[in-house]
Structure 1
Amino acid sequence: MEVFMGSWKLVSSENFDQYMDAISLSGAMKRYGSNMTTVVIFTQDGENIVIKTKMYEDTNRSYSISFKLGEEFNENTIDFRECRTVMNLQDGKLVQLQKWDGEEATIIRQVQDEKMISTLTCDEATAVLTFQKV
């Protein structure tokens, strides 16, 4: 997990609109999500890993999750989904599985070439978000 620790700023995204459609975001939430400057901060608090997402536009908005690897937890997402979520470390990748209302999404984060690549998948939609360490 050490490789993830620190702050990461979003520098590019591909197919994020399709992913937001797949998780059934409203038009207003899609516009909000598409126009954000996003920073993701990984820290550790005892046995828990904390991921804080800060989004900047007209107002600052932040969202945090705290978890132990391999233990399912309730996640109330920044887009208001209530998920049962589990995070696992597999081959150096942080794999997040979210389940809600019969739906399922996966976020796979990996660090390569000093960038964090997040691959978000729901149904047939896959988005790739690229973050640079700050």
Structure 2
Amino acid sequence: MSALVGTWNYVSQENLDGYMETIGVPEQMREIAKQSKPLLEITQDAGDHFMIRTTVGDKVKEYKFVIGQAFDSVSLTGQPLKSVVVLEGEKMVETQTLGDFNILIERSVEEGNLVSRMTVNNVTATVAFSKA
């Protein structure tokens, strides 16, 4: 799992606007997201304790969690989330409940890049990051 730990710079995205529209992100925030280059930081403390910080423009989402334990967090749009993160081999798999939406986020390192795949209602967005 140590391959995911580090600071990651945005490289590219596919269908992020469609994904954000599906979960109800306002158009103005989608426009800002399209123009920004998110920064992703993943740290691991002792054992199964992790922190993920995502910075998009002036919005920062940071949450700490223990693998396999449910936790509450807040989306970049300020909406409450219920989440749990598990490890599947070298992949970090997060499930989120956002209102009526069940979101699946899979993070893995592929060819040296961190790839984050986010799926809701059969709509998938992919965001790739390179190690800073």
Q: TM-score range by the shorter chain?
A: over 0.9
Equivalent in the alignment of 2:28: 28
Matches of 2:124 and 2:22 in 1, distance apart?
A: 9
Matches of 1:72 and 1:45 in 2, distance apart?
A: 18
Matches of 2:98 and 2:118 in 1, distance apart?
A: 15
The code of the aligned residue for 1:87 comes to V
Equivalent in the alignment of 1:14: 14
Deviations 1:5-36 (A, max 9, x none): 11111100000111001111111111121111
SS at 1:12's partner residue? strand
Equivalent residue pairs, number? 131
Instruction: State the TM-score, normalized to the length of structure 1.
Output: 0.92
Equivalent in the alignment of 2:72: 74
Say whether 1:133 aligns with 2:131.
yes
SS at 1:24's partner residue? coil
The code of the aligned residue for 2:81 comes to C
Which aligned pairs between 1:45-56 and structure 2 lie closer than 5 A? 45-47=45-47, 48-56=49-57
Equivalent in the alignment of 1:116: 114
Instruction: State the TM-score, normalized to the length of structure 2.
Output: 0.93
Equivalent in the alignment of 2:84: 86
Structure 1 segments, 4+ long, off by >4 Å, are: none
Matches of 2:45 and 2:78 in 1, distance apart?
A: 25
The code of the aligned residue for 1:90 comes to E
SS at 1:33's partner residue? helix
Matches of 1:79 and 1:33 in 2, distance apart?
A: 11
SS at 1:37's partner residue? coil
8 Å contact kept, 2:119–2:125: yes
| 1:101, distance to aligned residue in structure 2 (A) | 1.7
| RMSD between aligned residues | 1.2
Matches of 2:85 and 2:54 in 1, distance apart?
A: 16
